Amino acid sequence: MSLRKVQIVLWAAVAVALLGYLGLTIKARDGEPVTDATFQPVFALADAEGRTRTVEEFRGQYLLVFFGFTNCPDVCPTTLSEVAQVMDDLGGDAARVQPLFISIDPERDRRLGLAEFTTAFHPSILGLAGTVQETRAAAESFKIFFERNDDAAAPDGYSMSHSPALYLIGPEGNWIKQFTYGTPAAEILADLESRL
Amino acid sequence: MKTLILAFVLLGAAPAAFACESVSVGGITVQQPWSRVSIGTQRPGVLYLTIRNDGPADDALTAVSTPAAETPMLHETVVSDGIASMPHVMQVPVPAGETVELRPGGYHGMLMGLTGPLEEGATFPVTLTFATAGEITIPVQVLSMRAEGPECDDGQ
Protein backbone atom coordinates (compact mmCIF):
# COMPACT_ATOMS: atom_id res chain seq x y z
CA MET A 1 0.00 0.00 0.00
CA SER A 2 1.39 3.38 -0.91
CA LEU A 3 1.83 6.00 1.78
CA ARG A 4 -0.89 8.01 0.10
CA LYS A 5 -3.39 5.12 0.44
CA VAL A 6 -2.48 4.56 4.07
CA GLN A 7 -3.14 8.25 4.67
CA ILE A 8 -6.58 8.04 3.08
CA VAL A 9 -7.48 4.94 5.12
CA LEU A 10 -6.37 6.62 8.34
CA TRP A 11 -8.36 9.78 7.63
CA ALA A 12 -11.40 7.66 6.83
CA ALA A 13 -10.97 5.93 10.21
CA VAL A 14 -10.80 9.32 11.93
CA ALA A 15 -14.00 10.39 10.19
CA VAL A 16 -15.81 7.21 11.28
CA ALA A 17 -14.61 7.65 14.86
CA LEU A 18 -15.74 11.29 14.91
CA LEU A 19 -19.16 10.43 13.55
CA GLY A 20 -19.52 7.65 16.11
CA TYR A 21 -18.47 9.98 18.91
CA LEU A 22 -20.90 12.67 17.77
CA GLY A 23 -23.69 10.11 17.59
CA LEU A 24 -23.00 8.94 21.14
CA THR A 25 -22.76 12.50 22.44
CA ILE A 26 -26.07 13.48 20.87
CA LYS A 27 -27.70 10.34 22.25
CA ALA A 28 -26.35 10.97 25.75
CA ARG A 29 -27.35 14.61 25.70
CA ASP A 30 -30.81 13.89 24.46
CA GLY A 31 -31.79 13.01 28.02
CA GLU A 32 -35.29 12.01 26.98
CA PRO A 33 -35.35 8.23 27.15
CA VAL A 34 -37.85 6.57 24.84
CA THR A 35 -41.07 6.08 26.73
CA ASP A 36 -42.31 2.91 25.08
CA ALA A 37 -39.16 0.88 25.61
CA THR A 38 -39.22 0.45 29.36
CA PHE A 39 -35.92 -0.41 30.98
CA GLN A 40 -34.59 -1.24 34.40
CA PRO A 41 -31.99 1.13 35.78
CA VAL A 42 -29.52 -0.43 38.19
CA PHE A 43 -27.12 0.96 40.77
CA ALA A 44 -24.89 -0.20 43.59
CA LEU A 45 -23.77 2.84 45.57
CA ALA A 46 -22.70 3.54 49.13
CA ASP A 47 -25.00 5.48 51.46
CA ALA A 48 -23.74 8.01 54.00
CA GLU A 49 -22.77 5.18 56.39
CA GLY A 50 -20.81 3.39 53.69
CA ARG A 51 -23.29 0.53 53.17
CA THR A 52 -23.82 -0.48 49.56
CA ARG A 53 -27.40 0.05 48.49
CA THR A 54 -28.77 -1.53 45.34
CA VAL A 55 -31.93 -1.06 43.34
CA GLU A 56 -33.15 -4.56 44.31
CA GLU A 57 -33.79 -3.63 47.93
CA PHE A 58 -36.37 -1.05 46.87
CA ARG A 59 -38.61 -3.49 44.98
CA GLY A 60 -42.22 -2.77 45.88
CA GLN A 61 -41.54 0.94 46.31
CA TYR A 62 -41.60 3.78 43.85
CA LEU A 63 -38.24 5.55 43.57
CA LEU A 64 -37.91 9.28 42.93
CA VAL A 65 -34.33 9.66 41.77
CA PHE A 66 -32.34 12.85 41.42
CA PHE A 67 -28.72 13.06 40.30
CA GLY A 68 -26.94 16.12 41.68
CA PHE A 69 -24.15 17.43 43.87
CA THR A 70 -24.30 19.05 47.27
CA ASN A 71 -22.21 22.07 46.29
CA CYS A 72 -24.93 23.10 43.86
CA PRO A 73 -26.63 26.27 45.14
CA ASP A 74 -29.51 26.62 42.70
CA VAL A 75 -30.86 23.62 40.79
CA CYS A 76 -30.33 20.92 43.43
CA PRO A 77 -31.95 22.71 46.41
CA THR A 78 -34.86 23.71 44.20
CA THR A 79 -35.57 20.14 43.11
CA LEU A 80 -34.96 18.60 46.54
CA SER A 81 -37.38 21.16 48.01
CA GLU A 82 -40.00 19.93 45.56
CA VAL A 83 -39.28 16.34 46.56
CA ALA A 84 -39.55 17.25 50.26
CA GLN A 85 -42.91 18.89 49.64
CA VAL A 86 -44.14 15.83 47.74
CA MET A 87 -43.07 13.53 50.60
CA ASP A 88 -44.89 15.69 53.16
CA ASP A 89 -48.03 15.83 51.05
CA LEU A 90 -48.10 12.08 50.38
CA GLY A 91 -49.05 11.58 54.03
CA GLY A 92 -49.80 7.90 54.71
CA ASP A 93 -48.58 6.87 51.25
CA ALA A 94 -45.10 8.29 51.83
CA ALA A 95 -43.73 4.90 52.86
CA ARG A 96 -44.40 3.61 49.35
CA VAL A 97 -42.10 6.22 47.80
CA GLN A 98 -38.34 6.37 48.39
CA PRO A 99 -36.58 9.54 47.24
CA LEU A 100 -32.92 9.04 46.29
CA PHE A 101 -30.23 11.68 45.83
CA ILE A 102 -27.38 10.19 43.80
CA SER A 103 -24.21 12.24 43.96
CA ILE A 104 -22.43 12.85 40.67
CA ASP A 105 -19.58 14.43 42.66
CA PRO A 106 -19.18 11.59 45.17
CA GLU A 107 -15.71 12.28 46.54
CA ARG A 108 -16.36 15.90 47.43
CA ASP A 109 -19.89 15.16 48.65
CA ARG A 110 -18.68 12.46 51.04
CA ARG A 111 -16.15 14.93 52.39
CA LEU A 112 -18.72 17.73 52.76
CA GLY A 113 -21.31 15.40 54.29
CA LEU A 114 -24.06 13.67 52.37
CA ALA A 115 -26.58 12.98 55.13
CA GLU A 116 -26.59 16.49 56.57
CA PHE A 117 -27.38 17.78 53.09
CA THR A 118 -30.26 15.40 52.29
CA THR A 119 -31.84 15.58 55.75
CA ALA A 120 -31.81 19.39 55.56
CA PHE A 121 -34.52 18.94 52.94
CA HIS A 122 -36.34 15.85 54.20
CA PRO A 123 -35.41 12.96 56.49
CA SER A 124 -36.76 10.43 53.99
CA ILE A 125 -34.30 11.39 51.24
CA LEU A 126 -31.54 8.80 50.98
CA GLY A 127 -28.22 10.15 49.75
CA LEU A 128 -25.93 7.82 47.79
CA ALA A 129 -22.33 8.44 46.81
CA GLY A 130 -20.40 5.59 45.25
CA THR A 131 -17.04 5.50 43.58
CA VAL A 132 -16.53 7.47 40.39
CA GLN A 133 -16.89 4.25 38.34
CA GLU A 134 -20.04 3.14 40.18
CA THR A 135 -21.54 6.59 39.69
CA ARG A 136 -20.75 6.54 35.99
CA ALA A 137 -22.37 3.09 35.72
CA ALA A 138 -25.51 4.26 37.56
CA ALA A 139 -25.84 7.33 35.35
CA GLU A 140 -25.45 5.24 32.22
CA SER A 141 -28.11 2.81 33.37
CA PHE A 142 -30.51 5.74 33.94
CA LYS A 143 -29.40 7.09 30.54
CA ILE A 144 -28.46 10.42 32.01
CA PHE A 145 -25.54 12.72 31.39
CA PHE A 146 -23.13 14.44 33.70
CA GLU A 147 -19.68 15.90 33.37
CA ARG A 148 -17.17 17.84 35.34
CA ASN A 149 -16.35 21.33 34.05
CA ASP A 150 -13.13 23.00 35.06
CA ASP A 151 -14.00 26.50 36.21
CA ALA A 152 -11.40 28.54 38.03
CA ALA A 153 -14.18 30.70 39.48
CA ALA A 154 -16.03 27.74 41.07
CA PRO A 155 -15.35 26.24 44.51
CA ASP A 156 -12.36 23.82 44.24
CA GLY A 157 -11.92 24.92 40.62
CA TYR A 158 -14.72 22.91 39.06
CA SER A 159 -18.46 22.63 38.69
CA MET A 160 -20.76 19.89 37.45
CA SER A 161 -23.16 19.85 34.52
CA HIS A 162 -25.91 17.31 34.80
CA SER A 163 -29.38 16.16 33.78
CA PRO A 164 -31.55 18.00 36.30
CA ALA A 165 -34.74 15.94 35.91
CA LEU A 166 -36.36 13.76 38.54
CA TYR A 167 -36.81 10.11 37.53
CA LEU A 168 -39.66 7.86 38.60
CA ILE A 169 -38.91 4.14 38.92
CA GLY A 170 -41.76 1.69 39.50
CA PRO A 171 -42.16 -1.02 42.15
CA GLU A 172 -40.83 -3.66 39.74
CA GLY A 173 -37.75 -1.58 39.05
CA ASN A 174 -38.97 -0.34 35.70
CA TRP A 175 -38.25 3.19 34.50
CA ILE A 176 -41.60 5.00 34.29
CA LYS A 177 -40.98 8.64 33.43
CA GLN A 178 -39.04 11.77 34.14
CA PHE A 179 -40.29 15.01 35.64
CA THR A 180 -38.38 17.79 33.91
CA TYR A 181 -36.61 20.40 36.02
CA GLY A 182 -39.11 22.88 37.42
CA THR A 183 -42.11 20.53 37.54
CA PRO A 184 -44.19 21.82 40.48
CA ALA A 185 -44.49 19.57 43.54
CA ALA A 186 -48.28 19.46 43.12
CA GLU A 187 -47.91 17.93 39.67
CA ILE A 188 -45.49 15.27 40.88
CA LEU A 189 -47.78 14.54 43.82
CA ALA A 190 -50.84 14.15 41.59
CA ASP A 191 -48.94 11.77 39.32
CA LEU A 192 -47.78 9.64 42.25
CA GLU A 193 -51.21 9.60 43.87
CA SER A 194 -52.73 8.31 40.63
CA ARG A 195 -50.38 5.32 40.84
CA LEU A 196 -50.49 4.53 44.56
CA MET B 1 -62.69 20.22 50.99
CA LYS B 2 -59.30 18.70 50.40
CA THR B 3 -58.15 21.97 48.88
CA LEU B 4 -59.42 23.85 51.89
CA ILE B 5 -57.55 21.54 54.27
CA LEU B 6 -54.44 21.90 52.13
CA ALA B 7 -54.81 25.68 52.23
CA PHE B 8 -54.91 25.62 56.04
CA VAL B 9 -51.94 23.27 56.19
CA LEU B 10 -49.99 25.61 53.92
CA LEU B 11 -50.99 28.61 56.00
CA GLY B 12 -49.90 26.85 59.17
CA ALA B 13 -46.61 25.79 57.60
CA ALA B 14 -45.76 29.20 56.20
CA PRO B 15 -43.20 31.02 58.31
CA ALA B 16 -43.89 34.56 59.41
CA ALA B 17 -43.84 36.75 56.33
CA PHE B 18 -41.47 39.67 56.21
CA ALA B 19 -41.90 43.12 54.79
CA CYS B 20 -39.55 42.59 51.86
CA GLU B 21 -37.13 45.40 51.36
CA SER B 22 -37.14 47.59 48.27
CA VAL B 23 -34.39 50.09 47.49
CA SER B 24 -34.28 52.47 44.53
CA VAL B 25 -31.43 54.46 43.06
CA GLY B 26 -32.12 56.43 39.90
CA GLY B 27 -34.45 54.34 37.77
CA ILE B 28 -33.32 51.04 39.29
CA THR B 29 -35.33 49.38 42.03
CA VAL B 30 -34.10 46.25 43.79
CA GLN B 31 -36.70 44.28 45.71
CA GLN B 32 -37.56 40.96 47.35
CA PRO B 33 -34.02 39.83 48.09
CA TRP B 34 -33.82 36.39 49.69
CA SER B 35 -31.42 33.56 50.34
CA ARG B 36 -31.57 30.06 51.77
CA VAL B 37 -30.27 28.85 55.09
CA SER B 38 -26.83 27.27 54.68
CA ILE B 39 -25.44 24.05 56.13
CA GLY B 40 -22.34 25.47 57.78
CA THR B 41 -20.03 27.47 55.57
CA GLN B 42 -18.46 24.92 53.23
CA ARG B 43 -21.04 25.05 50.47
CA PRO B 44 -21.92 28.19 48.54
CA GLY B 45 -24.97 30.21 49.50
CA VAL B 46 -27.39 31.71 47.04
CA LEU B 47 -28.88 35.15 46.38
CA TYR B 48 -32.14 35.87 44.60
CA LEU B 49 -33.87 39.21 44.00
CA THR B 50 -35.84 41.27 41.52
CA ILE B 51 -34.53 44.31 39.62
CA ARG B 52 -36.85 46.79 37.93
CA ASN B 53 -35.57 49.42 35.53
CA ASP B 54 -38.02 52.33 35.30
CA GLY B 55 -35.41 54.56 33.71
CA PRO B 56 -35.13 55.52 30.04
CA ALA B 57 -31.83 53.71 29.45
CA ASP B 58 -30.61 50.12 29.65
CA ASP B 59 -28.52 49.23 32.67
CA ALA B 60 -26.77 46.10 33.89
CA LEU B 61 -25.91 44.46 37.18
CA THR B 62 -22.16 44.00 37.01
CA ALA B 63 -21.08 42.93 40.49
CA VAL B 64 -22.30 41.83 43.88
CA SER B 65 -20.49 42.11 47.19
CA THR B 66 -21.40 41.17 50.74
CA PRO B 67 -19.70 40.70 54.09
CA ALA B 68 -21.46 37.30 54.20
CA ALA B 69 -19.17 35.78 51.57
CA GLU B 70 -15.57 36.13 50.44
CA THR B 71 -16.29 35.54 46.75
CA PRO B 72 -19.82 36.38 45.69
CA MET B 73 -20.39 35.94 41.97
CA LEU B 74 -23.13 36.15 39.39
CA HIS B 75 -24.14 32.90 37.74
CA GLU B 76 -26.85 31.69 35.47
CA THR B 77 -28.39 28.25 35.48
CA VAL B 78 -28.79 27.18 31.89
CA VAL B 79 -30.79 24.09 30.98
CA SER B 80 -29.96 23.19 27.41
CA ASP B 81 -30.68 19.86 25.69
CA GLY B 82 -31.69 18.42 29.04
CA ILE B 83 -28.40 19.34 30.71
CA ALA B 84 -28.13 21.93 33.48
CA SER B 85 -24.94 23.92 33.80
CA MET B 86 -24.17 27.02 35.78
CA PRO B 87 -21.83 29.37 33.95
CA HIS B 88 -20.41 32.48 35.55
CA VAL B 89 -21.85 35.64 33.97
CA MET B 90 -20.05 38.96 33.68
CA GLN B 91 -23.27 40.93 33.99
CA VAL B 92 -27.04 40.67 34.14
CA PRO B 93 -28.63 43.04 31.59
CA VAL B 94 -31.53 45.12 32.90
CA PRO B 95 -33.11 46.72 29.81
CA ALA B 96 -35.05 49.97 30.14
CA GLY B 97 -38.63 49.41 31.22
CA GLU B 98 -38.06 45.77 32.15
CA THR B 99 -38.00 43.66 35.28
CA VAL B 100 -35.31 41.03 35.65
CA GLU B 101 -35.40 38.30 38.24
CA LEU B 102 -32.58 36.48 39.91
CA ARG B 103 -34.57 33.36 40.75
CA PRO B 104 -34.26 29.57 41.07
CA GLY B 105 -33.32 28.07 37.74
CA GLY B 106 -32.09 31.34 36.24
CA TYR B 107 -29.73 34.13 37.16
CA HIS B 108 -28.58 33.99 40.76
CA GLY B 109 -25.86 35.23 43.02
CA MET B 110 -23.55 32.45 44.18
CA LEU B 111 -22.05 33.25 47.56
CA MET B 112 -18.78 31.37 47.72
CA GLY B 113 -16.66 31.30 50.84
CA LEU B 114 -19.39 32.06 53.36
CA THR B 115 -17.92 33.97 56.28
CA GLY B 116 -20.50 32.45 58.62
CA PRO B 117 -23.50 30.14 58.41
CA LEU B 118 -26.62 31.76 56.97
CA GLU B 119 -29.27 31.22 59.61
CA GLU B 120 -32.97 31.16 58.97
CA GLY B 121 -34.63 34.46 59.87
CA ALA B 122 -31.36 36.40 59.82
CA THR B 123 -30.52 39.12 57.32
CA PHE B 124 -27.26 40.13 55.69
CA PRO B 125 -26.50 43.13 53.46
CA VAL B 126 -25.52 42.88 49.81
CA THR B 127 -24.25 45.67 47.64
CA LEU B 128 -25.16 45.46 43.98
CA THR B 129 -23.18 47.43 41.44
CA PHE B 130 -24.94 48.66 38.33
CA ALA B 131 -23.12 49.98 35.26
CA THR B 132 -25.12 53.22 35.28
CA ALA B 133 -27.09 53.50 38.51
CA GLY B 134 -24.07 52.72 40.69
CA GLU B 135 -24.33 50.91 44.01
CA ILE B 136 -27.44 49.74 45.80
CA THR B 137 -27.19 48.13 49.24
CA ILE B 138 -30.10 46.06 50.50
CA PRO B 139 -30.67 43.61 53.38
CA VAL B 140 -31.29 40.01 52.32
CA GLN B 141 -33.65 37.75 54.24
CA VAL B 142 -32.46 34.20 54.93
CA LEU B 143 -35.35 31.80 54.36
CA SER B 144 -35.70 28.08 55.02
CA MET B 145 -33.90 25.42 52.99
CA ARG B 146 -37.17 24.63 51.27
CA ALA B 147 -38.08 28.20 50.32
CA GLU B 148 -38.84 28.55 46.63
CA GLY B 149 -39.45 32.27 46.44
CA PRO B 150 -39.55 35.48 48.47
CA GLU B 151 -41.93 35.47 51.41
CA CYS B 152 -43.32 38.98 51.72
CA ASP B 153 -46.19 40.62 53.57
CA ASP B 154 -47.41 42.18 50.37
CA GLY B 155 -48.48 38.80 49.05
CA GLN B 156 -45.66 38.44 46.56
- pLDDT, tens only, B59-115: 999 999 999 999 999 999 999 988 999 888 999 999 999 999 999 999 999 999 999
pLDDT score at B11:
42
Residues in chain A where the model's pLDDT stays below 70: 1-3, 6, 14-37
Q: Which residue has the higher pLDDT, B2 or B85?
A: B85
pLDDT score at B4:
46
pLDDT score at B20:
81
Nearest to A28 by CA among A140, A168, A184, A174: A140
Q: Give B-chain residues touching A154 at CB under 8 angstroms.
A: 88, 112
pLDDT score at A28:
43
pLDDT score at A69:
96
Cα–Cα distance, B127 to B137 (Å, whole number)? 4
Cα–Cα distance, A46 to A125 (Å, whole number)? 14
Does B5 lie at the interface with A, CB-CB under 8 angstroms? Answer: no
Chain B residue with the nearest C-alpha to that of A115: B39
The distance from CA B21 to its chain's CA centroid, rounded to whole angstroms, is 12
Q: Which residue has the higher pLDDT, B2 or A1?
A: A1
Cα–Cα distance, B70 to B65 (Å, whole number)? 8
Hey, which bits of A56-173 come out as E strands? 62-68, 97-103, 126-128, 146-150, 158-162, 166-169
Query: What are the structural domains, with CATH classification, of chain B?
Result: 20-143 (2.60.40.1890)
Does A29 lie at the interface with B, CB-CB under 8 angstroms? Answer: yes
pLDDT score at B14:
44
Which long-range CB contacts under 8 A does A184-187 form with residues at least 24 apart? A184/A82, A185/A81, A185/A82, A185/A83, A185/A85, A185/A86, A185/A89, A186/A89
pLDDT score at A2:
65
pLDDT score at A154:
87
Tell me the per-residue pLDDT of B21-72, one tens digit each, with 9 for 90 and over.
899 999 999 999 999 999 999 999 999 999 999 999 999 999 999 999 999 9
Coil/strand/helix, residue A194: helix
ipTM of this complex: 0.80
Mean per-residue pLDDT of chain A: 88
Q: State the pairing for strand pair A62-68/A97-103.
A: parallel
Mean per-residue pLDDT of chain B: 89
Q: Give A-chain residues touching B105 at CB under 8 angstroms.
A: 74-75, 78, 181-182
Summarize the annotated binding site of A as residue ranges: 72, 76, 162
Q: For the CA atoms of chain B, what is the radius of gyration?
A: 16
* pLDDT (average), residues B2-18: 46
Interface of A with B in 151-190 (CB under 8 A): 151, 153-155, 159, 161-165, 181-182
pLDDT score at B41:
95
